[in-house]
Structure 1
Amino acid sequence: MAPLLLGSVLNPVNSTMIATSLVAIARDFHVGAADTAWLVSAMYLASAVAQPSMGRLADRLGPRRVFVAGLVTVLAAGLTGALAPAFPLLTVSRVVLGIGTSAAYPAAMAILRAEAERVGRGTPRAVLGRLSLAALGSAAVGPALGGLLAATAGWRAVFAVNVPLALAALACALAWLPSDGRAGSARTTARTASPAGSVDPLGIALFAATLTVAMFFLLDLAHPRWLLLAPTTALAAVLTWWQLRHPAPFLDLRMLARNGALLRTYLRHGLAYLVIYCVLYGYSQWLEEGHGYSAFHAGLIMLPMSGAAAVCSLAGARTKGIRAPLMAAAVCLAIGSGVCLLLGGGTPPALLLLAGALFGIPQGLASTGNQAAVYAQAPADGIGAAAGFQRTAQYLGAIVASSLIGLLYGQRATDAGLHEIAVVGLVLGVLLLVLTAADRALRPRAPAPAQPPATARPAGKASPTRTHH
């Protein structure tokens, strides 16, 4: 677990750690806030494309190889960012960092699935819970860690810290991760039977192009660029045509059409995190601009959200079912959104803390619940790519959430804007509850009826002969 946990924290911590260094970076390179925003968006975009791509490579080439290659890429990106002499190279380092850090989670899921098959065990819910907790915890401490590094050693330390972290994870991976030859039988058979071309580089490129153009449209819904819809549709059509033709497609559309349960899991995960990110970014912004708190005090009020997410990720990992935690997450999203409708400039701190905690509960439960659903519903030889697409759904939710916040807040976070966000959250929470309750794939399966014990017969008497058709 040590290398898997160390590797899995690199993407979420780098996603949030940069937030407290943007002002210093802008000052050193003499650029504006619009330019530094690309340091955030570039990594989200790279991660959204790279997560399923790295997962596909892990399925085809072996998860340990991809895990190690990702850590080496993180080393290179950390050094490049720490020594970057110009802002464009710093942006490139963030893209490379997004690609490198995206290898850990899907490769970890593939390794866990292979080891479970090898030793004959079921879903390792406790281990999946630790992975989820590592991601949630590292994302929560990222801004504080970035601020500490920037204040003591300068903003370049935010990039340089990836070097010792990646080296530690690399040493643990080389020492403790099982070789790819020990993978489960289904994955070994698929990898042996699959030609080198099964990685489908053209499919990955078309997926990346489609997602990039779509994200540019989604980034600014307040001023929609309608002209981008035409190339998005064209690229999506070409991607669909190519994936249906390829013998081993990157995006297996036929499998998704047959596996409706997995497709619904992606939908649930994306919608849940759309609401969660709306609160994560929109609520903290309202606390500062609409309620008058400082950034430090707004961070303190958000702490119960992180704490509840951590506790619930562990609690969700200890449950045997999937449907109950996901329904509880949907209920909390709806209730939390309802509480936000009551908030205003004179709301007491106790209610503000409660609102944050109510959104932390679904963050933990949705993360572990949907993670367990993907683990159970994905094909045996495609768990890496399936886990990567789960993260892509999450990043799409984050991008749509940031655009919704800009659309509903405008120039400043107000009570009215927060209430509009709460209405969106309430509607989506109820929708998630209905989707989860109606999903038969999430219901526990009844155990097979026990066979009656054989009736003992006196010695010497033959049993009657029966013919089975």
Structure 2
Amino acid sequence: MTLLHREPRTSAPAGAFDRRLIPPMILGSLLNPVNSSMLAVALIPIGLALGAPPSDTVWLVSALYLATAVGQPVVGRLVDAYGPRPLYLTGAALVGLAGALGAVAPNLPVLVVARVLIGLGTCAGYPAAMYLIRSEGQRTGRNSPSGVLAALSVATQVTAVIGPTLGGLLIGVGGWRTIFTVNVPLAAASLVLGWRRLPRARVAADAEPSDADGAPSLARGARLDVPGVVLFAATLTSAMLFLMDPQAAHAYLLVVAAAAGVGFVLRERRAADPFIDLRLLGGNRPLIATYLRQVLTFTVSYAFLYGYTQWLEAGRGLSASAAGLLLLPMFVTGIVATSTAGRRPKVRGKLVVGSLAQIAACLVLLLVVGSATPIWVLVLVAVVAGIPQGLNGLANQNALYHQADPARIGSAAGLLRTFTYLGALAAAAANASFFAGGADTAGLHELSVFVMACAAALLVLTLVDQSLGRIGVPSAPKGTS
């Protein structure tokens, strides 16, 4: 049995992207980053309210990352198989339920469960959006929709920056529980838009798996490689649990991860329809390099986002609302950077400028910032840090769009998010290590050195990857945006 794609109820003009798809795509994609980033200013208030130390509240961050990192490629594979609509609607409903649970959670363990459910519920938005962009590219004949990809990047990358500002304002108005309550109306809006605008899918036996041009396979088999999924989840979960608290006593987790990883490789190489086609992925070195750049990009991004925000509150003595507002220039700069560069399909320049800006921001933190630093300097740091927020994620996303197997665009996009949260977990481990005695200035400076090293590695990986120079260079009129 295979899957056919059916257009929305009213067809869009031939050759033009159906812009009615953009609102549900954007809203579904922003649910995950906004939930990730709002929590940055809520960790201290939650810890005080529930009597939990930072070593416990960090699970609110890690739980969402873990659920998302494991769930994204799984849900992406299901999007490839069944189409975006059922996964999108199911995920939105789960986010709404999780938001309601978090709003009434009596203790930290229940709050962690709510964060896990939010992580799972937000897994569908981004793979569904990439699937729709690719399917519209097939329908319109425009395989480089840079403007739509830029709009998606505004939602998925820049939303991560506005989250602390929004979170700070919500906490100031109604307390920390509002960062969970806000998911209820967001989920309701996603359900309405998804139900009304996302294309329906029907099962049929007479569809071909892909077209002659290698366009996305909108007619995928509905089988799911369950053993591969289980082994993948076991590998990733064990490795990430170790990263959350790396110490000798937890070395057994690495053994479990290695054993499950070997089993996963053996299974995927033999499966007729593997969950992740390792043979295809292994032959796609540019895509592997993009995944590595994604890890580095978000190790830097989240280490700064959470580390700098915690220092603003604990080391600089600002309130949660003030810390959120102080990050607002980063949001504005990110929007400007994405809007300016978004319609240009080339990616190498974006990554070079973004990594250099990361290094510059780290140098300011290391050499200038202290407990008595003037506010204008802190604003300057946020402005500089906003440049890579607007460029790096956009560049990696555009690279993936051109490098991934079109028939597996959903799972490839989900795997990109997995590497995003591997970077986020590495950042969380770094923050926990450097702020072990509290979010003070000494810890911030040590964190800055670590982040600068990651940014330098990102710059080197960008410069040595010659394949990036070919992205965005039109080879035929069909490839123009």
Mapped partners of 1:416, 1:382: distance in 2: 46
Mapped partners of 1:156, 1:414: distance in 2: 27
**Map of 1:396 onto structure 2:** 422
**Map of 2:380 onto structure 1:** 354
Mapped partners of 2:159, 2:63: distance in 1: 20
Contact 1:58/1:110 (<8 A) preserved:
yes
Please point out which of 178, 183, 197 is paired with 1:162.
183
Q: CA deviation at 1:224?
A: 6.7
Mapped partners of 1:354, 1:22: distance in 2: 25
Q: CA deviation at 1:222?
A: 6.6
The alignment partner of 1:411 has SS state of coil
Q: CA deviation at 1:228?
A: 2.0
Matched, 1:368 2:373: no
**Map of 2:258 onto structure 1:** 233
**Map of 1:432 onto structure 2:** 458
Which amino acid is the alignment partner of residue 425 of structure 1? Answer: V
Alignment of 1:197-216 (within 5 A): 197=223, 199-216=224-241
**Map of 1:74 onto structure 2:** 95
Please point out which of 168, 173, 196 is paired with 1:175.
196
- CA separation of 1:333 and 1:158: change in aligned 2, threshold 3 A: closer
Contact 1:270/1:396 (<8 A) preserved:
yes
Please point out which of 110, 126, 134 is paired with 1:105.
126
Contact 2:29/2:155 (<8 A) preserved:
yes
Please point out which of 280, 284, 288 is paired with 1:255.
280
Matched, 1:219 2:244: yes
Contact 1:269/1:370 (<8 A) preserved:
yes
Please point out which of 83, 89, 95 is paired with 2:116.
95
Q: CA deviation at 1:262?
A: 0.5
Please point out which of 323, 326, 333 is paired with 2:351.
326
Which amino acid is the alignment partner of residue 416 of structure 2? Answer: Q
The alignment partner of 1:443 has SS state of helix
**Map of 1:278 onto structure 2:** 303
Mapped partners of 2:338, 2:470: distance in 1: 20
Does 179-188 or 411-420 show the bigger shift? 179-188
Q: Which has the higher contact order (CA 8 A, sep 6+)?
A: 2
- CA separation of 1:378 and 1:81: change in aligned 2, threshold 3 A: same
**Map of 1:142 onto structure 2:** 163
Mapped partners of 2:308, 2:438: distance in 1: 12
Q: CA deviation at 1:89?
A: 4.2
Does 56-65 or 428-437 show the bigger shift? 428-437
Ranges in structure 2 where 5+ consecutive residues have no aligned partner: 1-21
Contact 2:82/2:220 (<8 A) preserved:
no
Matched, 1:408 2:434: yes
Backbone CA RMSD of aligned residues: 3.0
Q: Number of matched residues?
A: 448
Please point out which of 318, 328, 332 is paired with 1:307.
332
Q: CA deviation at 1:183?
A: 12
Contact 1:217/1:224 (<8 A) preserved:
no
Identical amino acids, percent of aligned pairs: 43
Matched, 1:56 2:77: yes
**Map of 2:362 onto structure 1:** 337
Contact 1:9/1:134 (<8 A) preserved:
yes
Contact 1:136/1:310 (<8 A) preserved:
no
Which amino acid is the alignment partner of residue 384 of structure 1? Answer: G
Which amino acid is the alignment partner of residue 306 of structure 2? Answer: Y
The structure with the larger Rg is 1
The alignment partner of 1:139 has SS state of helix
- CA separation of 1:409 and 1:97: change in aligned 2, threshold 3 A: closer
Q: CA deviation at 1:425?
A: 2.9
- CA separation of 1:443 and 1:358: change in aligned 2, threshold 3 A: same
Contact 2:158/2:389 (<8 A) preserved:
no
Q: CA deviation at 1:297?
A: 4.1
- CA separation of 1:224 and 1:321: change in aligned 2, threshold 3 A: farther
Mapped partners of 2:108, 2:452: distance in 1: 41
* TM-score scaled by length of structure 2: 0.84
Contact 2:165/2:325 (<8 A) preserved:
no
Q: CA deviation at 1:279?
A: 1.6
**Map of 1:466 onto structure 2:** none
Which amino acid is the alignment partner of residue 418 of structure 1? Answer: L
Mapped partners of 2:375, 2:320: distance in 1: 15
Mapped partners of 2:318, 2:476: distance in 1: 61
Q: CA deviation at 1:271?
A: 0.5
Contact 1:284/1:298 (<8 A) preserved:
yes
The alignment partner of 1:334 has SS state of helix
Contact 1:313/1:367 (<8 A) preserved:
no
The alignment partner of 1:248 has SS state of coil
* TM-score scaled by length of structure 1: 0.86
